[in-house]
Amino acid sequence: MKLKALSTAIILAALPTAGAFAAALDRSGQSIAAFLQPGNYFEAGISVLDPNVSGKVKNGYTPSPTASPAAVGLQNTNLGDMAGDYYFPSAALKLQLTDNFSFGLIYDQPFGADASYSLADKASAALGGAGLFHLNGETTEVDVTTENLSFIFGFQPIENINLYGGAVYQTVKGDIQLRGQAYGSAAGLGKYNADVDKDSAVGWLAGAAYQIPDIALKASVTYRSEIKHEAATHEYGQSNVLAAVGGSPVYDVETRTKITTPQSVNLDFQTGVMANTVAFANLRWVNWKDFSIRPQQFDKVGKTLGAVGQTPDNPKGFDLVGYTDDQITATVGVGRKFNEQWAGNVSVGWDSGAGNPVSTLGPTEGYWNVGLGLQFSPAPNYFIAGGVKYFMLGDADAQPASMFGTKNAIAEFEDNDAWGYGLKIGYKF
């Protein structure tokens, strides 16, 4: 038996949860596998992540100058689960227009964050209404969502080569709320909000693929550009340090926030290793080291704090979110076609993280994972695939924005994990 049929049968069994808990804000993994399927093809999927991320206040943590003296008693107290469950859909359409030209449309949600610190954790109870991440019944929360629509045009000069490129339309929006002693140095009384309106911008992608169908060999490399946004932002909160320099401690302003989502490179490879069996691998690089978010009013408060000596780690201001390292993610696995209707795979994945210490808004550093996928094809032209992955999340020290770029931290998160689930349908026509 030739391995040609496996190039579709096995790779489509790959888990839809491939990038569900990667470093920094990375979510979908930005795969273009659907575009490289033969003929005309459509798929739709959904991935769900159920993380458990809890920690404790770091031993030796010293409150900032604006924190209450009671915060000293927070050392070693527990912090509740701060990572929210979330789901994200995906869809793709690929049309083989002629023997030499193809077109693809891919929808995904490549970057995002969903975090909320529990009001019931012991660190909050220790201080009554003013916990490490809480203030008077309000908690630290972040919700960031991006959506991508990729328009891909492919040229196949010969059967084995596919050259492709196109435009990427992207939207981004977010809501951020900081509360509590952790952000006392960044927001006076530990109170800051930023509502980032949805903004759209355009980037691009380009790549090349090579295949030998008879041995189920397929290799591709895809580059995606950074995409620059400037979003309308409503910032409001309170910072006593502004009053100390002659301003009002309470602010409510409309500003603009520059956000540049990162460039990335994906390498994908598969090959037949024996009858009915293929091996596959994916390598992904994301340029998080050059990513940062610094809203205008947040920057003003940060620079004022530095000027009066309250943020010695960053006297000239600091980013709301930033990372010190680029991300590298690798996945390897084996897929097998059991019969004409059933196929499946097993995989192992690793993610480097994007630096440690990390932001309190996402306190993990990379992961290891193991996954299982299963595909059922009632007829040759359509299938249903599902899978599950277990993530062993890397330990991390967490720091507020005012400590970024240093080894200082206020909390540590250890022995955390997550479960990812995915479901996908595909149709060839």
pLDDT digits (tens, 9 = 90+) for 64-75: 544 444 455 566
**Mean predicted confidence (pLDDT) in 235-250:** 85
What pLDDT is stored for residue 259 in this prediction? 97
5-9, 200-204, 250-254, 330-334: least confidently modelled range: 5-9
- For residue 390, which of 343, 347, 329 has the smallest C-alpha distance? 347
**13 falls in which pLDDT band (50, 70, 90)?**
very low
pLDDT digits (tens, 9 = 90+) for 164-183: 999 999 999 999 999 887 87
Extended strands (E) in 213-323: 217-224, 227-238, 250-261, 264-274, 277-286, 292-293, 321-322
CB burial of residue 382 (10 Å; 0-12, 13-18, 19+): middle
Q: Which domains does the chain have, with CATH numbers?
A: 6-428 (2.40.160.60)
Average pLDDT over the chain, rounded to an integer? 88
What pLDDT is stored for residue 86 in this prediction? 87
**Mean predicted confidence (pLDDT) in 212-218:** 92
What pLDDT is stored for residue 255 in this prediction? 97
**352 falls in which pLDDT band (50, 70, 90)?**
very high
**Mean predicted confidence (pLDDT) in 173-196:** 80
In the chain, pLDDT over 70 holds for what percent of residues? 87
**263 falls in which pLDDT band (50, 70, 90)?**
very high
**Mean predicted confidence (pLDDT) in 222-246:** 91
Output the pTM of the full model: 0.92
Flag whether pLDDT at 404 surpasses 70.
yes
CA 34 to chain CA centroid, nearest Å: 21
